[in-house]
């Protein structure tokens, strides 16, 4: 089933993501990607989870993986980069060091370790 999903459904999801869907549609696509592509259980995912200090909320969290949903990353990249350290620190309180992903065009990601270091890479 997984191989069929990768062959049949994954390309459709990628095409849909590339079309810059609105926030809720993107959330549905990411949820399917996590469930079918990575085997995440619904009970392992948090949607719209508030940070411990209530200074923001994480769109999707799965363990120490933080996913920020943006329909136009070109316009909102500065906000994503500014918020990710807080999101990652919050996620790492309950999990191992994590990975943050900004889903829109899929180019921005940041890594976090317990020292608070955040690295950023943008694929062109």
How large is the average pLDDT for residues 30-51? 90
- The closest of 78, 80, 94, 84 to 116, measured between CA atoms, is 84
Token pair of 29 as six digits: 């696509």
Predicted TM-score (pTM) of this structure: 0.70
Using CA of residue 83, residue 102, residue 18, residue 10, what is the dihedral sign?
A: negative
The Cα 79–Cα 37 span in angstroms is 28
- List the domain boundaries for the chain: 2-122
> Where is 15: in which H helix or E strand?
helix 10-18
The Cα 35–Cα 44 span in angstroms is 10
Give yes or no for residue 41 having a pLDDT over 90: yes
- Could you report the per-residue pLDDT of 62-117, keeping only the tens digit for each? 887 888 887 777 888 888 888 888 887 777 776 655 555 555 444 434 444 444 44
100, 68 in Cβ contact below 8 A? yes
The Cα 124–Cα 21 span in angstroms is 21
The Cα 90–Cα 44 span in angstroms is 16
């Amino acid at each position: 089933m997984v191989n069929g999903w990768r062959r049949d459904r994954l390309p459709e999801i990628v095409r849909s993501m590339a079309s810059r869907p609105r926030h809720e549609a993107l959330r549905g696509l990411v949820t399917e990607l996590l469930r079918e592509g990575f085997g995440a259980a619904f009970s392992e995912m948090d949607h719209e989870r508030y940070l411990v200090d209530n200074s923001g909320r994480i769109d999707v969290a799965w363990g120490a993986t933080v996913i920020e949903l943006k329909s136009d990353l070109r316009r909102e990249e500065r906000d994503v980069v500014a918020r990710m350290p807080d999101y990652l620190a919050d996620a790492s309180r309950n999990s191992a060091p994590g990975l943050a992903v900004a889903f829109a065009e899929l180019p921005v990601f940041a890594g976090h370790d317990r020292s608070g270091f955040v690295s950023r890479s943008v694929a062109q």
